[in-house]
Amino acid sequence: MNQPNWRPRKRKSKKGPRLKQPKDPSTPTTRKITQYFTQTTRKQYRPPTRKFQTHPTALTEKIKSLQTTLTGFKITPSEGRKGDAFRLKKPPHTFRFMSANHNNLPTESYKQKSKLHISTINYYNPDVIAAQETRLNFFALEAHDSMEERIRFLHEARVTYAHNQWEGTFYKHQPGGTMIISTNEATHRTTTSSSDPLGLGKWATILLSGKEGHRTRIVSVYNPIASSPGPHTVNRQQT
Q: For residue range 163-218, list pLDDT tens digits in order.
A: 888 876 678 888 889 999 999 999 999 999 999 998 888 999 999 999 888 999 99
Residue with the bigger pLDDT between 71 and 164: it is 164
Integer Cα distance of 54 and 74 in angstroms = 31
State the pTM of this model.
Answer: 0.62
Single-letter residue type at 202: K
Integer Cα distance of 186 and 94 in angstroms = 11
- Specify the pLDDT at position 90: 85
Look at residue 1 and tell me whether its pLDDT is greater than 70: no
Nearest-CA neighbor of 95 among 128, 65, 53, 59?
Answer: 128
Domains of the chain by range and CATH?
Answer: 90-237 (3.60.10.10)
- Specify the pLDDT at position 93: 86
Integer Cα distance of 69 and 73 in angstroms = 5
Phi, psi of 98 (to 5 degrees): -130, 140
Residue with the bigger pLDDT between 71 and 150: it is 150
CA torsion 85→86→90→92, rounded to 10°? 20
53 pLDDT band (50/70/90 cuts)? low
Contact assessment for residue 99 and residue 124, using Cβ atoms and an 8 Å cutoff:
no
Indicate the pairing of strand 178-182 with strand 158-162.
Answer: antiparallel
Look at residue 37 and tell me whether its pLDDT is greater than 50: no
